[in-house]
Amino acid sequence: MDERRRVGKKVRWLAKAGILTAVAVVLMYLEFPLPLMPDFLKFDFSEVPVLLAAFSMGPLAAIAIEFVKNLIHLPFTMTGGIGELANFLVGACFVGTAGWVYKVRKTRKGAVAAMGFGTLALIVAGVVINYFITLPFYINVMEFPLEAIIAMTTSAGNTIVDGMFTLLLYVFVPFNLFKGVVISLLVYLLYKRLSPLLHK
């Protein structure tokens, strides 16, 4: 009987992970630009099911789903894979941090704190990863100059950006802040309603 329970538990875990991954993949394709942001930055809601996984299944499960989500998206990439790598690293910092904090303190206040720390991790990771990985790849490997990236930002209406520092400060920081807040708010509204299904 114990063996059957263990097997049943594993099957339910895999089914839940599979469903959340599938939803995340679909949502990843429903992306759209934000005002004042360059065309290469698109917003999507794919972190919602991953953050739900972080709260219901733990941080490691959420990071695994984040990885699979980007792996499935890889054959259809238009970024040479660097966009998926950045998305995975930044997303893993977001859901991993939130999942770990919530694992330590499973209360409503704990959930709010988890999403706050997760959003902070998202912002910091976004700056670090874009400064050291994404932007150097586009500038040095793809030969897409920083000036062209700044021009794309200016044409979107964001005229404050005039260099690397202001690009990070006035593009990537507000973009990831917006993303973290919106995703966190949606998860806050959805988690309690979906909790009976997520914890089956």
pLDDT at 197: 73
Average pLDDT over residues 39-53: 94
Confidence of residue 142 (pLDDT cuts 50, 70, 90): confident
Contact 176, 104 (CB under 8 A): no
Report d(CA 19, CA 58) in Å as an integer: 16
For residue 1, pLDDT over 60 is answered with: no
Q: Which domain range does residue 161 map to?
A: 2-198
pLDDT at 126: 96
pLDDT at 72: 92
pLDDT (tens digit per residue) in 107-136: 889 999 999 999 999 999 999 999 999 999
User: Among all chains, which residue has been given the structure tokens 């599938």?
Assistant: 22
Contact 72, 30 (CB under 8 A): no
Beta bridge partners of 42: 33
pLDDT (tens digit per residue) in 48-89: 999 999 999 999 999 999 999 999 988 877 777 888 899 999
For residue 23, pLDDT over 80 is answered with: yes
Q: How many domains does one find in the chain?
A: 1
Alpha-helical regions (H) of 32-172: 47-57, 59-73, 82-104, 108-129, 135-136, 146-155, 164-167
CA atoms 36, 41, 42, 44: torsion sign = negative
Q: pTM of this prediction? A: 0.92
Q: What is the CATH number of the domain that holds 180?
A: 1.10.1760.20
Report d(CA 73, CA 84) in Å as an integer: 7
